[in-house]
Amino acid sequence: MAATPPLQTVVLDRASDAPTLTSAIDIGSFNFGNPLAVWLAGAAIGAGFGYASVNIVGAMMTAAGLALAFVTLRLDARERRHI
């Protein structure tokens, strides 16, 4: 949850024309991630991988989030160079 305020600031800076919609989508993505993590962890346990697999699911979700953040930063940097 510590990532929410800085992420919200960055998102609002980028989409200043629609701050309410932007805020709703930003927080909605966090609210989507919570049950997704629970579902994936439950699926891993249900598939017989055991309780320790929950840590792997969390690590994979974190890696996916970091990859998306990295791609977003690269695209933003490329866009700023062309302005």
State pTM to two decimals.
Answer: 0.73
Tell me how far apart the alpha carbons of residues 79 and 10 are, in angstroms, rounded to a whole number: 15
Confidence of residue 3 (pLDDT cuts 50, 70, 90): confident
Q: What is the mean pLDDT of residues 6-18?
A: 85
On the question of pLDDT at 45 being above 90, the answer is: yes
Query: What tokens appear for 63 in the block?
Result: 């890696």
On the question of pLDDT at 72 being above 80, the answer is: yes
Are 8 and 20 within 8 A, CB to CB?
A: no
